Amino acid sequence: MQRTKNPILNQVSNADVMDRSNSASYLGISIKTGILLLTTIISGLFAWFLISTKPESAVTILSVSGITALISVLLASFIPRMAMPFSILYTLAEGFILGAITVVAELFAPGIGMTAVIITVVIFGVMLALYSSRTIRATSKFRKFMFSTIIAILIFSILGALIPQISALFANNFGLAIGLSAFLIIYGAFMLILNFDQAEYIVDAGADKMYEWSVSLGLMITIFWIYIEVIRLLIILAANRD
């Protein structure tokens, strides 16, 4: 049970893996991921409609949705028994955020939203195929690398917010901006390997079905990361083309 530092899976206790009659399954994870994805799409389309008709509501939508998403994902991650309602609430809030971002991106470069969706789906499919074929495995070294990298990304993000010169460096340098976006997309793709490994882990361990929501939430977070970074990369490319 110590194979990961993920707070979600660290909540899996011995009692949760005793009863196989109500244990997690791949089908259950797939269904719950589908529910969360559908929730995201519906809220995203609603946000798109709302912002298109009332542009002044964009700031309010982003602010409220951002706070709601943050609180929901924390509660869903650290209280597995509450993962279902807060995972749904998180995807509702995140859907609004993604919808707002996509609206702005479409105004900047029409068609960018659908392109980002297609690229995200392709990345997901490729990484799932690589994991299923055992071409890429979530070894202990791989997990340590991913954990260390996310810490480095967070530190760099904080420094970028505190030191304007760092943000300006990437904003004014096309090559650096492209390189950073590509790196973040690749990192998100490899995060999917950890998500797939978590799904395999709870199924093999016979964990309670409530953890299916936790794994599905983790998948959605990674998918959102990839989608947003793909949008960013496409905007950079479109801006340079113009």
pLDDT of residue 12 exceeding 70: no
Determine which of 4-8, 54-58, 201-205 has the lowest per-residue pLDDT on average.
4-8
Single-letter residue type at 157: S
Say if residue 213's pLDDT is above 60: yes
Q: Which two tokens stand for residue 218?
A: 């983790």
Res. 14: pLDDT tops 80: no
Q: What does the mean pLDDT of the chain come to?
A: 86
The answer for residues whose C-beta is within 8 angstroms of residue 7's C-beta and 6 or more apart is: 77, 78
How far is it, in rounded angstroms, from Cα 225 to Cα 186? 11
* 60-83: b (≥16 Cβ within 10 Å) or e: ebbeebeebbeebbebbbeebeeb
pTM here is 0.86
pLDDT for 13 equals: 46
CA distance 94 to 53: 20
Residue 42 has pLDDT above 80, yes or no: yes
Confidence of residue 202 (pLDDT cuts 50, 70, 90): very high
Buried b (16+ CB within 10 A) or exposed e, 189-211: bbbbbbbbbbbbbbbebbbbebb
SS3 111: coil
At a CB cut-off of 8 Å and minimum separation 6, what does 69 contact?
90, 93, 94, 97
